[in-house]
Each structure stands twice: as structure tokens, then as C-alpha cells.
Amino acid sequence: MAVQLSFQYLHYGSPTAVCVCHRPASMSMFSTGILVLTSPLHTLPLRIAPVLSSAAQVVERTLYVHLHPGLNLGSAGQARPVYIPPVADVSSLIARLYSNAADVCGHLDVRVLLTNFRAQQSLVGTGGANNPFPSPQTLSHSPEVVLTDFHLQDPDQSLLVAQCLQRYAGHCYTCTPGLASVLLHPHLDTLEEKEEVELERHGPAGPEPLQTYSDVVVGGTFDRLHGAHKTLLNISCLLANKRFVIGLCDSELLKKKVLKELIEPYALRVERLQEFLQDVKPSLQYEIVPLSEPFGPSITDSNLQCIVVSEETRRGGEAVNKKRLENGLSELVLHEIQVIKDAHHSEIEEEKISSSSLRSRLLGTLLTPPKDNPLLPPVPYVIGLSGGSGSGKSSIARRLEALGAVRIDSDQLGHETYCPGAAAYQRVVEEFGEDILNDDKTINRRSLGRKVFGNKERLKSLTDIVWPEIALLVKHKIQQAREGKQVCILDAAVLLEAGWTEMVHEVWVTIIPEEEAALRIMARDGVSEEDARRRLESQWSNAQQVGHANVVLCTLWEPDVTQRQVQKAWKLLQERIQQRWENNSPLS
Ligand SMILES: CC(=O)SCCNC(=O)CCNC(=O)[C@H](O)C(C)(C)COP(=O)(O)OP(=O)(O)OC[C@H]1O[C@@H](n2cnc3c(N)ncnc32)[C@H](O)[C@@H]1OP(=O)(O)O
């Protein structure tokens, strides 16, 4: 790639960033960048937010952070990577960095790299080698741009600094050819005073060393790796000199989690962890083991020395130590890190950054893009809304109707198919006997329900009769909605089981924990718990349905929370439909 060697002074919107940019003119944003932080450790905490928000104006996907406090990029001879001993300030800086990143550049995948951090004792026997990068480290995403907070003494220095920075980055990491460089100058006027105060607070005592350990362990679910996970992992990597063991919650341990159906599969969580850890500190030996009970290897592995916990999991750490003592093993040092607050949390979300909040934010969004079905007419756009009994599906369908959709109620159409004189009446009576009839010869649905729910074969006999009839009525209703070019919501409890996906453009699924569904069915329909459970067992599980869903909704919380989810889903749907029109328009 040709690199344009002229300088550009770029004023990126806000006064926080003035960049000297040395890059191909055609490229406005970079996918992956590496930020080399050179400010002294005591000043970094205050600088980190403005530096990150400046960096976020240049990088859009992955931002690696390489810490080298005090690095002099103004003198080519001095800009060489060296090992830095882990100190307590680095650990709090890491927490601060991820916390600020969540606030100011939440869309970026930030990863703090620690190859150049090593405790002095673990350097013994390496012949005093002090180069953390004998060859450039390959990262999972190659940096296309290197950025720095290095403070220019005079603007004429910028070319020298940019070149020095590129050389430094290329020495440490395999970067893309034609690596661009950006010098960030966050607005620091007010910061400088505060930094003075920080310096005074620290006093002349120097940094407090961080105790490190050969083998460190943590446990967790690590669903959708976020800043709090990364802080935990990064600090564990800082503490570990040799081996890092991660107990990864699986199966039984996930059962009680909020929106457990949206937890990433085990294999994907392992893959994401491996990629992150391999970037962060490839010299460590990583072991990721499945946890089907709370303790795993933490209570049996005699080599472990330290367990990293948060305020919330400290008690778990103490329980580990109790078990270790019972098993004749030494106690682990409990290293506690702070919980990171989530500045953007909503009222149903936890105050801390959490995976369950991230999962709840997925509700109403497009999880899987719909497949194009050329046999399906483009209008009306049909949403198949499915969901277990008691999941609140029909209330969601009504909310969508209020927003302008045409609602097709399949339960209702089902009842119509076996009204006296209707297409399926005679066959249903022949199949299930006259004891399902009321005095007025109508079918008593509760009696019929008792015969079919909990009995797969009987249920199939019923659905074999009624589904084709209901499908005809549904198609007729869809046809009618075509005139108005409207969105149709096909409210169908067992849409997936019936194989009706061919009739719809998208599948939306409502979920609710099974215990809650059973309670709702009992209260609403006045049936016993046993009957409610039987009904639920006649349907696909939440997890099975979610596996086929383009959009997932959940009615577990207050009605206005459901309403906001529905409005979000509706708004995003309108955007998708508009996009479809534009793509298929003869003018496009
Ligand atoms: C493809 C579709 O989704 S079509 C719509 C569903 N209808 C059918 O499958 C037709 C067969 N079912 C029926 O005829 C009736 O449901 C009966 C006779 C079994 C029971 O009648 P009723 O007691 O009046 O119950 P109703 O029809 O209101 O349905 C009650 C619940 O049973 C569930 N249900 C209905 N049909 C089925 C089925 N075939 N399999 C599993 N569950 C079913 C629904 O989810 C509904 O729960 P929800 O309202 O919380 O979503």
C-alpha cells in the first residue's frame, strides 16, 4: 500500500484531539490500532479518558493498548521496549482504562497488552535478557495504525516522533505494511493541575510493587467479554508468572442465569478467551476448564497460589480456601479487584458492567439476519411470532398491532377450524370422541386440551387435522393485508414445530423462564401446575426456539420495559424494511 508521506494536521471535531496523521489519504478510519501510552504512571489515570476518546475517532474496531510509561519517542536511540515490573498502580490503571473505555468508547474492543510486564524474579535465569520482543508479536488483528499520547515539546519534532513510533510499534508487534501513525494531543490544561495533586498524593515513596505468583486461577462465565471480564483477566495475567487457569461455567451453573438462552455457546466463549489471552500475554500457559460445579480445579490443584476475585465473589474465594484446607492443600491468596460500574445501565440492569445487562440489550435487536426466501412475496412483510405458553407472546403481538402491524391470531383461527360446521369439526369429533363436546355440540377445548397436552401422539393427531386448515386461513389473512403493504404479525405459539417458517420473512421468539411461565399459565387459565407443565412440555424449549430466532423478546420485567423492547424491535424492523426497499428498488 502506498503511503503518503506528507503530514496532515487533523482537527477531529472535539477539542480533545489534534492529530498529526501520517497515513494514506484515502483511509479515514482504521479497523485496528495500537495505542502506545508513554505518560508517566501517576498522570495516566487522568489522561486516559480523553486519550481513549481521541483514539476512538481514528480506530473503529479493536484498540490494543501498550503501556510504556516514560518512553521517549523524541530520541530514536531511547525508544526500545523493556520489561516493566508489575506495580499496584498498573493494576489500578488497567481497571481505570477498561472502565473509561466502557464510558467513552464502548463500541471498541479494547485489549491491554502485557508482554512487556514481568516480575523481576521471573527474569532470573533468562541471562538478564531485557527485550520483551526478541521478534515481533503477532496479534489476532494486525494494527493498521499506531497512536500515542507522547507529548511533543515542539511541533517540528512531529516527523521524527511519528517515525520513531512506527519503528517502536514494528519492533514489538507485526503490523500491517504501511502502518500509519497518529499523535494524539488531548486537551490537558485542567488535567495538569490535578496531575500535580496526584503526584503529591503519591509522594516520593515510589511505586508499590505488586506481589506476583507462579499459578493463578479465576472462575466465571465470560459471556460476551466486556470491560469487567477483561480487567479480571488482565490483572490475573499481571499477577501470573507461569500458568493461568480459568474455570469456565457450563451446563448446570448456567441454569439460574438471566436470559441464559442468549449466553454464548461454551466453545465460542473458549475461543474468545483464548484469542484475548493470546494477545495479552502469550508467554503464559493458559488452561481453560469447564466448570459444572462452583469449585473445579481451584480446590484440587496444589500448584495454584492465588485466586482473583471481585467484591462480589470474595465469599466464593473464601469457600475455595475452606475446601482446600479440607483437601489438605494450602490456602490461596485472595486478590480482590473492584467491580466496574456501568455508567449506561438502565433500571432493569445491574449497576456494574455485567453480561446479563449486555444480554438484555440484545432483546429486540436482530440477532441473526433473515434468510431470503425468493418464493415469499415481498409484501406484506410477515413476522412469525412464536414463544412458549405463558411467555407473553400475545401481549407483544398486541403491542405490535398498536404500532401499526396487522395481527393474525393463530390460536383464534385454530378454534374457528373446529366450530360446528367448520372444516375440521367432524374429523376432530371422530378422532377424540363425543365426550369432548359441550351440551350445545361445540368442542370443549379444555377437555380436548387434557387429552392432547402431555401425549405427543394424540397432540399430533389433532395438529395433523387442524394445522393445514389454520394455514389456509392464515394465508388468506396475509393476502388481505397485502393491499395496505403492511407488516403482518403472525402470532403462532407453535410456528416452529409446525414448520411454518416458509410463510414468514422473520421469526421472532418470546421467552420467559419456565417456572415463571408455569405460574402465569396457572393464574391465567386456572389450571393445575401439572397441567401447566404438561402444556409447556408439549412445546419446544426456549433454547430450541431461540436457536431459530432472528429477534428475541422477553416479558419478564415491568410492562413499560416490554413496551420499550417492542418499540426498539419495531423501529429496527422499519429500518430493515426500508433498506430492503432501497436495495430492491429499480433505481438502485
Ligand atoms: C402453528 C400454530 O402455532 S397454530 C396455533 C396453535 N394451535 C394449534 O396448534 C391447534 C391445536 N390446539 C388447540 O386446538 C387448542 O390449543 C387446544 C384445544 C389444545 C387447547 O385449547 P385452549 O385450552 O382453549 O387453549 P388455547 O388454544 O387458548 O391455547 C392455550 C395454550 O396452548 C398452547 N398450544 C396451543 N396449541 C398447541 C400445540 N399444538 N402444541 C403445544 N402447545 C399448544 C398455546 O401456546 C397456548 O398458550 P398461550 O396462549 O400462552 O400461547
522: domain CATH number is 3.40.50.300
Distance 508 CA to ligand 1 centre (A): 18
C-alpha cell at 371: 434468510
Distance 400 CA to ligand 1 centre (A): 21
Distances (CA, A) of 403 to 62, 399, 400, 407, 571: 38, 7, 5, 11, 10
CA-closest residue to ligand 1 atom 46 = 389
Q: What atom in ligand 1 is closest to the CA of residue 393?
A: 51
The pLDDT of residue 421 is 94
Q: Looking at the structure, tell me whether residues 18 and 155 fall in a common domain.
A: yes
Distances (CA, A) of 266 to 65, 269, 353, 355: 27, 5, 21, 14
| Mean pLDDT to the nearest integer, 116-135 | 74
Which residues does residue 333 pair with via DSSP β-bridges, in sequence order?
306
The pLDDT of residue 199 is 57
Distances (CA, A) of 62 to 105, 175, 267, 525: 11, 13, 22, 51
Place 46 in a pLDDT band, splitting at 50, 70 and 90: confident
323, 353, 383 — which closes off a domain?
Answer: 353
Percent of all residues in the chain with a pLDDT value above 70, rounded to a whole number? 87
**Using a 6 Å cutoff on CB, does residue 414 contact ligand 1?**
yes
Are 247 and 219 in contact by the 8 Å Cβ rule? The answer is yes
Per the domain annotation, does 72 fall within a domain? yes
Q: Looking at the structure, tell me whether residues 312 and 456 fall in a common domain.
A: no
**Using a 6 Å cutoff on CB, does residue 564 contact ligand 1?**
no
Q: Looking at the structure, tell me whether residues 265 and 170 fall in a common domain.
A: no
Per the domain annotation, does 2 fall within a domain? no
Distance 412 CA to ligand 1 centre (A): 9
Per the domain annotation, does 221 fall within a domain? yes
Higher-scoring residue by pLDDT: 36, 482: 36
**Using a 6 Å cutoff on CB, does residue 386 contact ligand 1?**
no
Give just the sign of the alpha carbon dihedral 257, 313, 270, 176: positive
Q: Looking at the structure, tell me whether residues 540 and 563 fall in a common domain.
A: yes
pLDDT reading at 547 higher than 70: yes
Per the domain annotation, does 358 fall within a domain? no
- Please state which of the ranges 37-41, 105-109, 202-206, 502-506 shows the lowest mean pLDDT: 202-206
Place 91 in a pLDDT band, splitting at 50, 70 and 90: very high
Per the domain annotation, does 133 fall within a domain? yes
For ligand 1, mutation pick of 391, 411, 450 (most atoms within 8 Å of CB): 411
Q: What atom in ligand 1 is closest to the CA of residue 521?
A: 50
Distance 535 CA to ligand 1 centre (A): 9
Rounded-to-integer distance, Cα 153 and Cα 297, Å: 53
CA-closest residue to ligand 1 atom 37 = 494
| Mean pLDDT to the nearest integer, 239-263 | 93
CA-closest residue to ligand 1 atom 32 = 389
| Mean pLDDT to the nearest integer, 376-380 | 91
pLDDT reading at 23 higher than 50: no
**Using a 6 Å cutoff on CB, does residue 539 contact ligand 1?**
yes
pTM as predicted: 0.83
Higher-scoring residue by pLDDT: 546, 198: 546
Q: Nearest CA to 461 among 438, 433, 482, 488?
A: 433
CA-closest residue to ligand 1 atom 13 = 414
Residue 358 burial class via C-beta count within 10 angstroms: exposed 0-12, middle 13-18, buried 19 and up: middle
Q: What atom in ligand 1 is closest to the CA of residue 415?
A: 14
Place 309 in a pLDDT band, splitting at 50, 70 and 90: very high
Query: Predicted ipTM?
Result: 0.96
Determine the structural domain holding residue 148 and report its residue range.
Answer: 8-205
**Using a 6 Å cutoff on CB, does residue 449 contact ligand 1?**
yes
**Using a 6 Å cutoff on CB, does residue 463 contact ligand 1?**
yes
Q: Nearest CA to 409 among 460, 470, 361, 452?
A: 470
Q: What atom in ligand 1 is closest to the CA of residue 524?
A: 50
Read off the CATH number of the domain in which 335 is found.
3.40.50.620
Q: How many domains does the chain have?
A: 3
CA-closest residue to ligand 1 atom 10 = 414
What element of type H or E holds 45? helix 44-55
Are 282 and 137 in contact by the 8 Å Cβ rule? The answer is yes
Q: Looking at the structure, tell me whether residues 246 and 332 fall in a common domain.
A: yes
Q: What is the largest CA-CA distance in the chain?
A: 99
Distance 493 CA to ligand 1 centre (A): 7
| Mean pLDDT to the nearest integer, 24-36 | 77
Distance 498 CA to ligand 1 centre (A): 12
Rounded-to-integer distance, Cα 581 and Cα 588, Å: 9
Residue 563 burial class via C-beta count within 10 angstroms: exposed 0-12, middle 13-18, buried 19 and up: middle
Main-chain dihedrals φ then ψ at residue 334, nearest 5 degrees: -90, 110
Q: Looking at the structure, tell me whether residues 222 and 368 fall in a common domain.
A: no
Average pLDDT, the chain: 88
- Please state which of the ranges 118-122, 247-251, 575-579 shows the lowest mean pLDDT: 118-122
The pLDDT of residue 209 is 85
pLDDT reading at 375 higher than 50: yes
| Mean pLDDT to the nearest integer, 518-527 | 94
Per the domain annotation, does 3 fall within a domain? no
Percent of all residues in the chain with a pLDDT value above 90, rounded to a whole number? 70
pLDDT reading at 17 higher than 50: no
The pLDDT of residue 152 is 84
Q: Looking at the structure, tell me whether residues 256 and 153 fall in a common domain.
A: no
Rounded-to-integer distance, Cα 169 and Cα 143, Å: 9
Rounded-to-integer distance, Cα 26 and Cα 230, Å: 34
Place 348 in a pLDDT band, splitting at 50, 70 and 90: low
174, 205, 236 — which closes off a domain?
Answer: 205
- Where do runs of H (alpha helix) occur along 281-332? 314-326
Q: What atom in ligand 1 is closest to the CA of residue 386?
A: 3
Q: What atom in ligand 1 is closest to the CA of residue 462?
A: 11
pLDDT reading at 8 higher than 90: no
Higher-scoring residue by pLDDT: 418, 356: 418
**Using a 6 Å cutoff on CB, does residue 503 contact ligand 1?**
no
Are 387 and 393 in contact by the 8 Å Cβ rule? The answer is yes
Place 13 in a pLDDT band, splitting at 50, 70 and 90: very low
Place 196 in a pLDDT band, splitting at 50, 70 and 90: low
Q: Looking at the structure, tell me whether residues 381 and 292 fall in a common domain.
A: no
Rounded-to-integer distance, Cα 205 and Cα 392, Å: 62
Per the domain annotation, does 474 fall within a domain? yes
Rounded-to-integer distance, Cα 36 and Cα 443, Å: 75
Per DSSP, the three-state class of 14 is coil
- Please state which of the ranges 94-103, 175-184, 339-348, 482-491 shows the lowest mean pLDDT: 339-348
C-alpha cell at 49: 479518558
Q: ∠ CA(52), CA(54), CA(58), 5° rounding?
A: 105
178, 205, 232 — which closes off a domain?
Answer: 205
**Using a 6 Å cutoff on CB, does residue 410 contact ligand 1?**
yes
| Mean pLDDT to the nearest integer, 528-538 | 92
**Using a 6 Å cutoff on CB, does residue 492 contact ligand 1?**
yes
Rounded-to-integer distance, Cα 494 and Cα 46, Å: 55
**Using a 6 Å cutoff on CB, does residue 384 contact ligand 1?**
no
**Using a 6 Å cutoff on CB, does residue 231 contact ligand 1?**
no
Are 296 and 289 in contact by the 8 Å Cβ rule? The answer is yes
DSSP 256: T
Distance 470 CA to ligand 1 centre (A): 12
| Residue pLDDT, tens place only, 418-464 | 999 999 999 999 999 999 999 999 999 999 999 999 899 999 999 99
C-alpha cell at 481: 393485508
Q: Looking at the structure, tell me whether residues 335 and 315 fall in a common domain.
A: yes
pLDDT reading at 340 higher than 80: no
Q: Looking at the structure, tell me whether residues 266 and 239 fall in a common domain.
A: yes
Higher-scoring residue by pLDDT: 438, 79: 438
Q: Looking at the structure, tell me whether residues 272 and 380 fall in a common domain.
A: no
Q: What atom in ligand 1 is closest to the CA of residue 500?
A: 1
Per the domain annotation, does 74 fall within a domain? yes
| Mean pLDDT to the nearest integer, 313-329 | 95
Residue 580: CB atoms within 10 Å = 15
Distance 464 CA to ligand 1 centre (A): 13
Place 198 in a pLDDT band, splitting at 50, 70 and 90: low
Rounded-to-integer distance, Cα 560 and Cα 435, Å: 44
Backbone dihedral region for residue 433 (phi beyond 0: left; psi -120 to 50: alpha; all else: beta) = left
Rounded-to-integer distance, Cα 441 and Cα 219, Å: 62
The pLDDT of residue 280 is 98
| Mean pLDDT to the nearest integer, 356-360 | 85
What element of type H or E holds 37? strand 30-37
CA-closest residue to ligand 1 atom 51 = 389
| Mean pLDDT to the nearest integer, 380-397 | 96
Which residues does residue 488 pair with via DSSP β-bridges, in sequence order?
382, 406
The pLDDT of residue 208 is 81
Q: Nearest CA to 89 among 203, 218, 241?
A: 203
pLDDT reading at 26 higher than 80: no
SS3 content of the chain, % helix, strand, coil (to 5): 45, 20, 40
Q: What atom in ligand 1 is closest to the CA of residue 497?
A: 1
Q: Looking at the structure, tell me whether residues 33 and 141 fall in a common domain.
A: yes
**Using a 6 Å cutoff on CB, does residue 500 contact ligand 1?**
yes
